Structure 1
Amino acid sequence: MVRLYRENRSKFYRVKCPDCENEQIIFEKASTVVDCVVCGHVLAEPRGGRAALKAEILAELE
């Protein structure tokens, strides 16, 4: 069966920094290191496909 439309299977996450409690939205498949904008703590590191998240996930966004 051929799909007529391509659905997006990637997600965004609202995460909380473990150091400063700042909430930030990051992409599930980040291709670069994602740092906290407040304190600079690494929140996600690229791992080829999905990023390795180093922060607590608060919500999954679509």
Structure 2
Amino acid sequence: MAGNFYTVACPDCENEQIVFGKAASEVACAVCGHTLAVPTGGMAEIEGDIVDTVEAR
């Protein structure tokens, strides 16, 4: 299972959170609850600004 982890900035509160690029479930912001990633069966649809790639495989 190859994939990348990304630091994503929430569009609502600017909180930065690490998200797996192939997330299998919805990922919500830990501060405000805004959805940051939606699973699509492959690469997750990221709904925020990708700040950095934490781990590239």
Counterpart position of 2:15: 22
- Per the normalisation by structure 2, the TM-score is 0.91
Deviation, structure 1 residue 19: 0.3
Structure 1 runs (4+) deviating above 4 angstroms are none
Q: Which has the higher strand share?
A: 2
Distance 1:52 1:46 in 2: 6
Root mean square deviation of aligned Cα: 1.0
| Gap regions ≥5 residues in structure 1 | 1-7
| Alignment partner of 1:40 is 2:42 | no
Select the structure of larger CA radius of gyration: 1
Please tell me the residue identity of whatever aligns with 1:20: C
- Count of residues paired in the alignment: 55
| Gap regions ≥5 residues in structure 2 | none
Which one has more relative contact order, counting CA pairs under 8 Å at least 6 apart?
2
